[in-house]
């Protein structure tokens, strides 16, 4: 198995824990405050990670286009997190997390449109199954 696939599964596991742990941390406080506290921790951990693992020489390779796209990614991440925390504060984590994973379909469509990535029949079938699952989950 390729290394990046293993990393993706590790990411999946961490993301699963994140939702449940976050819901536990929101007891007695608003989703907005909880998100703010969590984000401060994320920023500190990522900065520590960068200090250890990012080669200082790489800083000179940053171009305006990197700042633009990564900044835009930060904006969309912020939007995602704001609404995710609002949803898990009042909703069931399992349902919210499953609906959130519909982002796979959005990412697949954007990868095709913007990055010209190849979308195979297998991937389309998977996306269709995800959408069908979202319809089942969203209806009570």
pLDDT per position as a tens digit, 60-90:
999 999 999 999 999 999 999 999 999 999 9
Averaged pLDDT, 46-64 = 96
**Which tokens sit at 17?**
């824990």
- Cβ neighbours of residue 117 closer than 8 Å, sequence gap 6 or more: 111
In this structure, what are the phi and psi dihedrals at residue 139, rounded to the nearest 5 degrees?
-95, 130
pLDDT surpasses 90 at 1: no
pLDDT surpasses 90 at 140: no
**Which tokens sit at 45?**
């951990």
Q: What is the four-CA torsion angle of 31, 36, 41, 43, rounded to 10 degrees?
A: 130
CA 80 to chain centre: 8
Q: What is the pLDDT of residues 96-130, one digit of tens each?
A: 988 998 999 999 999 999 999 999 999 999 999 99
pLDDT at 69: 96
How many alpha carbons lie under 13 Å from residue 126 in its C-beta half-sphere? 14
DSSP SS3 for 118: coil
């Amino acid at each position: 198995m390729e290394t990046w696939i293993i990393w993706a599964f590790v990411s999946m596991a961490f993301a699963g824990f994140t939702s449940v742990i976050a819901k536990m941390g929101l007891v007695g406080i608003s989703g907005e405050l909880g998100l703010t506290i969590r984000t401060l921790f994320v920023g500190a951990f990522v900065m520590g990670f960068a200090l250890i693992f990012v080669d200082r020489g790489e800083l000179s390779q940053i171009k305006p286009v990197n700042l633009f796209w990564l900044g835009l990614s930060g904006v969309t991440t912020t939007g995602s997190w704001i609404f995710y925390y609002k949803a898990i504060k009042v909703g069931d984590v399992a349902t919210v997390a499953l609906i959130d994973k519909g982002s796979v379909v959005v990412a697949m469509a954007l990868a095709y449109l913007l990055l010209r990535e190849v979308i195979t029949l297998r991937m389309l079938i998977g996306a269709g199954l995800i959408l069908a699952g979202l319809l089942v989950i969203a209806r009570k």
